[in-house]
Amino acid sequence: MHEQSITMLLSEIKAGRKDLVDDVFAILYAEIKSLAGHQLKRLSPGQTITPTVLAHECYLKVVNNEQLQLNNTRHFLHYMALSMRAYLVDTLRAKSTDKRQHIKSAMSLSDCVGDSQLNFRVMEMEQIFKRMEAIDEKLTEILQLKVLLGLTYQEISEVIDLSERQVIRRWQQAKALALAIYNEGNSDG
Amino acid sequence: MVEQDIKHWQQANEIYADMTDLSVSEAIAALHQLPHVEDEVKSLVISLISAGQQSSQYFDQAMESYRQVIKHTIFEVGQVVGDYRLTQALDQGGTAEVYVAEKVGSEVQKPVAIKLFNHPGYLSHLSDRFQVEQKILAGLSHPNIVKLYHGGHSSNGVPYMVMELVKDAKTIDRYVTEQGCSTRDIIGLIIQAARAVAYAHTNLVVHRDIKPSNLLIDDQDTLKVVDFGIAKLLNKPKDPQKTTLLALTPNYAAPEQIKSEPISVRTDVFSLAAVCLQLVTGESPLSKDRLLSGCVNDDSHINRLLKNKVIDSDLRKILQQALQSESSRRYRHMDLFADDLQAWLEHRPVSASRDSFVYRIGKFAQRRTALFVTSVVLLLFAVSSVIVFSWQYRQISIEVEKSRQFKQFLLNVFAAAKPEEARSGAIDARLLLAQAAENIDYLDLKAAADKSELTDAIAQAYFQLGLYERADALWQQVYQLTPDNRRAMLGLAQVAVINNDAETAKQWLQRVQKNDSKATQTERPADLWLIQSGIAELTGDQEQALSLARRAHDYFQGEDLIQQQLVAAQRVGDLLFKASQSKQAIDFLQHSLVTGRQTLPPTHPRILAIKNNLLDLYNDVGEFEQALAISDELTSQIESVFGERHPLLIDTYVATSGTYRATGDMDKAKEYAEKAYQLALKLHGLNSAITGRVVNTLGVLDYVRGNIKEAIAHISRAAEIFDDSVGENHPDTWEVKTNLTALLNMNQEYQRAIDLIEPVVKSQRQELGVNHKSTIYSQTILARLYGDIGDFEKATPLAESVLKIAIENLGEQHPLTLGSYFTLAKIYQKQNRLADAITLIGTIIHQPEGALTEDNESIITAYNTLADLYAAQDDMVNALLYKQKSWQAAQHILGDSTLRTLSQRLKLAQLLQQNKQFKEANQHVQAVQLLMQQHAIEHPGLQQLLDLLNSENQ
């Protein structure tokens, strides 16, 4: 489906072709979506899959097809996390618009998202990610890798080239920032 | 603005990056050593430091929620489930999918709806219970309930239910928006829903998940409630009373559901009312974070919405009643909710408080003044009723001679008083009664019954005066003399209630009932109800107490017994007041005042007494204008009709003083207190209990103005007066002495305080028992005093045992229980057991059962205490955090310029100074100074603190 390999795209982005970011994004998004669809069909009723599993599948698929260089892995995972976020939010939105497409009255976030408080939390995390990106991209990256892609400290340390101890420290800092943002939003409302 | 905000965050984040390895206090210290950091940034760093301490629970839950998003679905249109073919998808909820379906191979049958429970959590346990439950649900048959036909399992094991298909169903919120329904239309729909749910309730089915998407309107504009009991079906079997969070809608769920507390029909009342509120206001009825916050903001959110968006006050009242956080305060049945809505539609008066009640004692001592003086008025009234009584005898011309005798007897009693006192009109009722009681024995009465009647009248009078022991003795005499005397038995039951002796009271009541069953004519049952109401209150059943009092009131009203009706009205008012429902109490008393005025003169003691209670109530709810209006009315009525000698006048002055005190007009407050004092002195002399009361009031006023020493002087004198006038075993004497002890404690006169309170505690233990509120209070103070002089061997066990007793007898939320908590914490602190103290205070703030709500004034103390404890532990972050919270709570509850808020703010400033945050401290100090200027507040204590802070700052 995609002509260009992700590896190629990533190198070109690195070389300054920022306009190609969208392409990588589109490829990964499609990949995740199709993987998810495929996975879901295999599951028995009621089972769920996690973004972590999806991400691993996606990673394996790309790595099997292409020679992903280690210094590109980091970017790759970053874009994958972003794609994953987009996919999850879209999935939620789709569910809620299915259900309430007729209701036009002004609604709060939780109304849009629907019944499940758990779904609500996904949207909440999305808000936190967005705000964090503006404040500290690197911390956001660590948070995404850990929470969304389920990487271990060691894996993260390999990807972003920091010692494991440093990763743990950064993770703590990221957690504090996320929670502080969350608390701030909560006390305002 | 946003740019700026992001910049602040970035700076804070950078600063915090170097702090992640530090402990909290190290981090804070490091922060304050950094030069040139803006305040906004600083506060963000502090919130980062504090967030760094939080658990990672949030992220664990976030992970879990991602998992739920990507969920498997297996059903699609065309598929066959059981005997049905799915023809159209209707709804994909969090818990189930709904399809339109047709029976395979049958053209005749109408299409049905099938609900498929395709969710991971349910498969394991749903099957077993499914069969049983669905039969019960299938039994529900009501035009406004969607009929459930039967249930089953699909070939791959997914449970489903086959239901009536609602044609062209619209959810109620969509319908209301599309049709542009008026508020009245909406209420009409809600009533339909309420009746249907009430029907289900009578079949022992609670809906548990009422929300707009479960209230459908069909093409005939008929409302249909769907999904009865589904939420229960989805529960874990071992916990059938609880609802899983997954299965319910936090926007409409009752607090007890979210907190996993037992569910009742009132749970549905809440949810339906929440839906109603949303439809009427167009806004979300509850805050979005209520799952996280454990519903602590529910009340404030609902009240704000009601206040701002529901214009009609009756409707507001109804919804407020239905949306009480505590389920016991809501409508008891769905039908009562529907009735009130119906009444509202029809413009009939609503009774939004009729059946609700919550157990919240409190403020039990505040009304003493009023009750005390009122009882003096009633004494005069009781004596005159003896005359009326004899007059009645003459009317029916039974025994003219006896009537003459009674009259003479009374005249003799009055004549025995000193002539100068008699001339001035200021007769000591107590002496008079003692004299009367003694003289009865010498009275040559023909029948024992006659003597009984007179003795009973005097006992009544004693009772009204609060001299219960004597009343009790006299009634015992009457009972000995005439064992079938109903009034004596009732009186003895009443005394037992006053003495907190529910058992004895019940025994007397049983005798009355036995007696009544033998009597030839029917006796008034309402007399019994009033006493039963008292017993119910004693045993903690406030709801029953109120309902009995109301019943008695209605009975008397029906029988046209106006005076008894007013007595019952006062009782209802008292109960409502004690339940902190002062507004309802006001409505009730105003109503009975209207009734009373139709037959009684405006200056009748009962009318005056009710007005006097109203005065207190208006003060209690903060409607000071109304309070002042009533006190004006009372003052002028009493002065014009009775002159200044009427006992209520003093009380009115005292209450007026209280009103001015509350509005901050200290000069006026002082003026009226002085007026009351002069009058009391003139009428009752230096050693009367009434004068004692007023002197006590002067002391309280001193205390409020911050003059502890003068307060102590006044209240000591009041205590002496009470010792002399009512005796040292009188509740009023105890109360004054206990208050004095508290003041002495504040003034650090510990030994004097201990000497004063020890005998009080001893006699209260004997007279009232250890479980009594007053005993608990005085023992708490004693424990604190022992702690203050360092006698921990006495202090610790006493405080621990009192706390235990208080929790058991009064409940976690009672102000006295909270006082015991604070005292024990203080004692731990003195022994340097800081961790114990922190845990203890943490218990009241954080524990779900004990949790203090944000509008409870004690939260201010709790935060403040916690802050001091952390400060003692050198944990400045938490100390500052809780000091700040304490101030904010005070601001939130009391407003920003009340004495307490100001003083709390200065305490915060003090702590900031200690922490070398001079700039911040100074800002608070200046703000306080400004507020004090603006509101012309003078307060020695505050001033002292201000001076101290200012000198430190330089």
**SS3 of B170, please?**
strand
| B224 and B203, same domain (yes or no) | yes
β-sheet bridge partners, residue B225: B145, B215
A166 touches chain B (CB under 8 A): no
Q: How far is B783 from B170, CA to CA, in rounded Å? A: 64
B388 touches chain A (CB under 8 A): no
pLDDT over threshold 50, residue A106: no
B515, B484 contact by CB (below 8 A): yes
| B379 and B519, same domain (yes or no) | yes
Judged by CB atoms closer than 8 Å, whether chains meet at A105 and B173 is answered as yes
Find the CB nearest B284 among A43, A91, A111: A111
Judged by CB atoms closer than 8 Å, whether chains meet at B65 and A118 is answered as yes
pLDDT over threshold 70, residue B310: yes
Q: How many CB atoms lie within 10 A of CB B206?
A: 21
Averaged over B340-351, what is the pLDDT? 73
> Which pLDDT tens digit goes with each residue over A29-71?
777 877 777 776 666 655 666 777 777 777 777 766 666 665 6
A108 touches chain B (CB under 8 A): yes
Q: How far is B904 from B884, CA to CA, in rounded Å? A: 9
pLDDT over threshold 70, residue B182: yes
**Residue B571 within any structural domain of the chain:** no
Largest CA distance in chain A: 52
**What phi and psi, each to the nearest 5 degrees, are found at residue B114?**
-120, 130
Q: What is the pLDDT of residue B354?
A: 31
Judged by CB atoms closer than 8 Å, whether chains meet at B70 and A49 is answered as yes
Helix and strand totals (H; E) in chain B: 43, 9
Closest CA relative to residue B732, chosen from B536, B468, B542, B504: B468
Q: How far is B600 from B569, CA to CA, in rounded Å? A: 15
Closest CA relative to residue B636, chosen from B649, B655, B617: B649
What chain A residue is nearest to B291 in terms of C-alpha separation?
Answer: A117
What chain B residue is nearest to A149 in terms of C-alpha separation?
Answer: B63
Averaged over B781-805, what is the pLDDT? 91
Record the tokens describing residue B35, joined without a space.
Answer: 């030069």
**Residue B82 within any structural domain of the chain:** yes
**Residue B751 within any structural domain of the chain:** no
**Residue B735 within any structural domain of the chain:** no
B811, B850 contact by CB (below 8 A): no
Record the tokens describing residue B578, joined without a space.
Answer: 């004690």
Pick the more confident residue, B516 or B243: B516
Distance from CA of B872 to the nearest CA of A (A): 27
pLDDT over threshold 70, residue B886: yes
CATH number reported for the structural domain that contains residue B401 in this entry: 1.25.40.10
Q: What is the pLDDT of residue B156?
A: 65
Q: What is the pLDDT of residue B552?
A: 92
> Which pLDDT tens digit goes with each residue over B831-874?
989 889 988 888 877 765 545 666 566 788 888 888 988 988 88
Closest CA relative to residue B859, chosen from B907, B902, B891, B905: B891
Q: How many CB atoms lie within 10 A of CB A17?
A: 12
Percent of chain A with pLDDT over 70: 69
Q: What is the pLDDT of residue B667?
A: 85
A48 touches chain B (CB under 8 A): yes
> Which pLDDT tens digit goes with each residue over B910-951?
999 888 888 889 899 989 888 888 877 777 778 888 888 888
| B336 and B442, same domain (yes or no) | no
The complex's ipTM works out to 0.78
Q: How far is B662 from B704, CA to CA, in rounded Å? A: 10
| B243 and B302, same domain (yes or no) | yes
Q: What is the pLDDT of residue B824?
A: 92
pLDDT over threshold 60, residue B376: no
Q: What is the pLDDT of residue B223?
A: 93
Q: CA-based angle B795:B798:B800, to the nearest 5?
A: 105
What chain B residue is nearest to A179 in terms of C-alpha separation?
Answer: B51
pLDDT over threshold 90, residue A2: no
> Which pLDDT tens digit goes with each residue over B77-115?
788 888 888 888 876 555 567 888 988 877 667 889 888
| B322 and B412, same domain (yes or no) | no
What chain A residue is nearest to B63 in terms of C-alpha separation?
Answer: A147
Q: Which residues of B touch A44 (CB under 8 A)?
A: 72, 156
Element (H, E) at B390: helix B368-395
> Which pLDDT tens digit goes with each residue over B536-594?
887 777 788 899 999 999 888 888 888 788 889 988 988 887 776 778 889 889 888 88
What chain A residue is nearest to B68 in terms of C-alpha separation?
Answer: A48
Q: What is the pLDDT of residue B27?
A: 84
Residue carrying the six token digits 């529960």: B235
Q: Which residues of A touch B94 (CB under 8 A)?
A: 114-116, 119
Q: How many CB atoms lie within 10 A of CB A150?
A: 16
Find the CB nearest B10 among A106, A122, A135: A135
Query: Residue B355: pLDDT band by 50, 70, 90 thresholds?
Result: very low
B907, B864 contact by CB (below 8 A): yes
Judged by CB atoms closer than 8 Å, whether chains meet at A110 and B68 is answered as no
Judged by CB atoms closer than 8 Å, whether chains meet at B51 and A179 is answered as yes
| B500 and B371, same domain (yes or no) | yes
> In the A/B pair of chains, how many CB contacts fall below 8 A?
166
Q: What is the pLDDT of residue B391?
A: 38
Residue carrying the six token digits 């036995």: B514
Domain boundary (B523, B546, B578) is at B523
> Which pLDDT tens digit goes with each residue over B44-55?
888 888 887 776
A114 touches chain B (CB under 8 A): yes
Beta strand pairing status for B112-116 and B97-103?
A: antiparallel
A183 touches chain B (CB under 8 A): yes
Q: How far is B818 from B776, CA to CA, in rounded Å? A: 11
B775 touches chain A (CB under 8 A): no
Averaged over B172-201, what is the pLDDT? 91
What chain A residue is nearest to B252 in terms of C-alpha separation?
Answer: A115
Q: What is the pLDDT of residue A99?
A: 44
Helix and strand totals (H; E) in chain A: 9, 0
**Structural domains in chain A plus CATH codes:** 1-102 (no CATH), 109-189 (1.10.10.10)
Averaged over B153-181, what is the pLDDT? 84
**SS3 of B761, please?**
helix
**CA atoms in the 13 A half-sphere facing the CB of A85:** 23
Q: How far is B412 from B414, CA to CA, in rounded Å? A: 5
Q: What is the pLDDT of residue A122?
A: 75
**Number of independent structural domains in chain B:** 5
Spell out the long-range contacts of B694-699 with Cβ–Cβ below 8 A and sequence spacing 24 or more. B694/B650, B694/B654, B695/B721, B696/B736, B696/B739, B697/B369, B697/B654, B697/B657, B697/B658, B697/B673, B698/B673, B698/B674, B699/B743
Judged by CB atoms closer than 8 Å, whether chains meet at B51 and A177 is answered as yes
pLDDT over threshold 90, residue A20: no
- For chain B, the average pLDDT equals 77
Which of B6-15, B204-213, B288-297 is predicted most confidently? B6-15
Q: What is the pLDDT of residue B398?
A: 40
Q: To probe the interface with A, which of B11, B69, B300 has the most A CB atoms within 10 Å?
A: B69
**Residue B694 within any structural domain of the chain:** no
| B144 and B11, same domain (yes or no) | no
Closest CA relative to residue B670, chosen from B647, B691, B699, B628: B699
Judged by CB atoms closer than 8 Å, whether chains meet at A110 and B250 is answered as yes
Find the CB nearest A117 among B16, B56, B250: B250
What chain A residue is nearest to B248 in terms of C-alpha separation?
Answer: A115
Percent of chain B with pLDDT over 70: 77
Q: Which domain holds residue B223?
A: 170-345
Q: How far is A172 from A43, CA to CA, in rounded Å? A: 35
> Which pLDDT tens digit goes with each residue over B609-653?
788 888 878 877 777 788 888 888 888 777 766 566 666 778 788
Distance from CA of B49 to the nearest CA of A (A): 7
- For chain A, the average pLDDT equals 72
Closest CA relative to residue B851, chosen from B891, B811, B895, B800: B811
| B469 and B438, same domain (yes or no) | yes
Query: Residue B70: pLDDT band by 50, 70, 90 thresholds?
Result: low
Judged by CB atoms closer than 8 Å, whether chains meet at A105 and B282 is answered as yes
| B516 and B377, same domain (yes or no) | yes
| B382 and B461, same domain (yes or no) | yes
**Residue B93 within any structural domain of the chain:** yes
A94 touches chain B (CB under 8 A): no
Judged by CB atoms closer than 8 Å, whether chains meet at A118 and B51 is answered as no
| B101 and B207, same domain (yes or no) | no
Find the CB nearest A99 among B20, B62, B91: B91
B701, B713 contact by CB (below 8 A): no
A110 touches chain B (CB under 8 A): yes
Q: What is the pLDDT of residue B236?
A: 42
What chain A residue is nearest to B47 in terms of C-alpha separation?
Answer: A180
Query: Residue B728: pLDDT band by 50, 70, 90 thresholds?
Result: confident
**Residue B818 within any structural domain of the chain:** no
Q: What is the pLDDT of residue B774?
A: 77
Reported residue count of chain A is 189
Q: What is the pLDDT of residue B908?
A: 92
CB neighbour list of residue B577: distance below 8 Å, 6 or more residues apart:
B363, B367, B585, B616, B617, B620
> Which pLDDT tens digit goes with each residue over B892-913?
877 787 778 888 899 899 999 8
Closest CA relative to residue B113, chosen from B165, B158, B170, B76: B165
**SS3 of B680, please?**
helix
Find the CB nearest B94 among A48, A114, A139: A114
Q: What is the pLDDT of residue A117?
A: 43
Q: What is the pLDDT of residue B172?
A: 93
**Residue B499 within any structural domain of the chain:** yes
Distance from CA of A8 to the nearest CA of B (A): 30
Pick the more confident residue, B496 or B429: B496
What burial class does residue B397 get, using C-beta atoms within 10 Å of its C-beta: 0-12 exposed, 13-18 middle, 19+ buried? exposed
Q: Which residues of A touch B54 (CB under 8 A)?
A: 176, 179
What chain B residue is nearest to A137 in terms of C-alpha separation?
Answer: B10
Averaged over B510-533, what is the pLDDT? 83
Which of B197-206, B692-701, B713-722 is predicted most confidently? B713-722
Judged by CB atoms closer than 8 Å, whether chains meet at B66 and A98 is answered as no
Beta strand pairing status for B223-225 and B215-217?
A: antiparallel
| B443 and B480, same domain (yes or no) | yes
pLDDT over threshold 60, residue B149: yes
